[in-house]
Structures are given as structure tokens and as C-alpha cells.
Amino acid sequence: MSQFTQHMQRWTSLPVRQRGTLIIAIPMVCLFTSLASFAWLKSSLVEDEAWVQHTQSVRLETNRLLTALVDAETGVRGYGLTRRVAFVEPYTDAREVIPETLAELQQLVQDNPEQTQRLLGIQELVEQTLSLLDQKLTLQQELQEISGREELVVPTALLYDWLEEGRATMDMAREAIARFAAEEERLLHERKQHLELYRQISWTVLCLSAMVGTIGGLLAIHL
């Protein structure tokens, strides 16, 4: 006699009430298990979606910081080449945006010690860069005031050295921001994968729950 036949005989030998209770319990257990699983999965999905949005915010502020820093440098270089006051405006705007962006980034990455440390390095380089740009702009404005005219003739070699001064610091700031942004890209990719995994698990649990519930219902009908 096969084991299946033995199990079936044991099953049929049970009282009808007991068999009915067991069969009805199957979809009930499946239902409560599904509810618990979905509650956990929903919580995980909400958390992962929040982390994805968080990383997107960090990326946005990082791009804003880099853009403002480039605008500041471009404004000072443009003013040095043309002596036009219009080029000072982008620099002035960038000087307002950069501190706000750094403060926002510090708030966003405070849960990540590694990114916080990177941001401190970025802040130091940015401050050095802005200090050099301030010196360049102030010097050029003072020279114009001394000359008493809007245009000041500067030797080409001197102008080149003046514009190139501090480029190394600016390049280091850009590289530091690029490394910071690359880490956020990695975190975003990782969190999106995690989010997709939980979505797949949700569908799997849903399908399994439907299958078990259907089987339990069919058994109850044929009792």
C-alpha cells in the first residue's frame, strides 16, 4: 500500500467535523498569513520608495551645487576678460545658492557617515575656491577704481595667470563633488533594485495565497 493511500485512509477516517475544521482553517490561515505578509511588504515598499526619493533629492542638490560653483567661476572669469558688470550677477547669485545647497546636503546625508565625511571635504574645497574668486573679483574692481575708467588694459600673460590662479582648487572641488555624486548613483541603483525585489515578492505572495486559498476552497466543496 502506498503512502498516499495510507494518508488518504487516515484522512477519511477522521470525523467529518474535524476534517471540515481543518479544511476551513486552510484558507483562513492563508488569509491571515497573506495579510501579515502584505503589511510587512507594504511597510518595506514605502520605506524603499522613501529612500529612492531621498537619494533623488541628494542628486538634485548635488547638481545644483556644482552648477552654482561653475557659475561663480564663469562669472569671475567673464568679468576679468570683459570688465562687464553683468558677469558679476551670476557670481553673486551663486554665492547665495552655494551655502543653502551645502546646508541642505548636510541635512540629507546626516544618516550616512561616509557621505557626510565626503561633504565636509567638498565644503572645505568650495570655501577655498570661493575665497580665491572673491580675491580675484575684489582685486579687479579695485584696479578699475584706481584707474578711474571702465576698461583696464592688462598684459595678456598677467591676465592668463590671474584667471588660471586657483584652477587646481576648483578642479579638486569638482572631482570631490563627482565622487560624492557617484556614490549617490550607486545607492540609487541599489535601492531601486531592492524596491523591485520587494515588488516581485509581493506578487509571488499574492499568487501563492490565491492558489492555496483556491485549493482549500475546492477541498471544502468536495468534503
- Domain containing 65 — which CATH number? 1.20.120.1730
Q: Is 153 left (phi over 0), alpha (psi -120 to 50) or beta?
A: beta
Cell numbers representing residue 81 in the block = 576678460
Residue 70 counted as domain residue = yes
**Residue 207, in any domain of the structure:** yes
In a domain, 2, yes or no: no
Within a domain: residue 11? no
Does 36 map to a domain?
A: no
- The C-alpha cell that represents 38 in the structure block: 502584505
- The domain of 83 spans 44-221
Does this model's pTM top 0.85? My answer is no
Domain assignment of residue 12, yes or no = no
Q: 148 or 91: which carries more pLDDT confidence?
A: 91
| Mean pLDDT, rounded, of the chain | 78
Is 120's pLDDT higher than 90? Answer: yes
pLDDT exceeds 90 at position 3: no
pLDDT of residue 61 exceeding 80, the answer is: yes
pLDDT at 174 over 80: yes
9 in a structural domain: no
165 within 8 A of 140, measured Cβ to Cβ: no
Contacts by 205-212, CB closer than 8 A, 24 or more apart? 205/34, 205/37, 205/38, 205/41, 206/34, 206/38, 209/30, 209/31, 209/33, 209/34, 209/37, 212/26, 212/27, 212/30
Number of folded domains that form the chain? 1
pLDDT (0 to 100) of residue 124: 94
Asked if residue 165 lies in contact with residue 132, where contact means CB atoms within 8 angstroms, the answer is yes
In a domain, 22, yes or no: no
pLDDT at 79: 81
User: Beta-carbon neighbour count of residue 98 at 10 Å?
Assistant: 21
Rounded-to-integer distance, Cα 19 and Cα 26, Å:
11
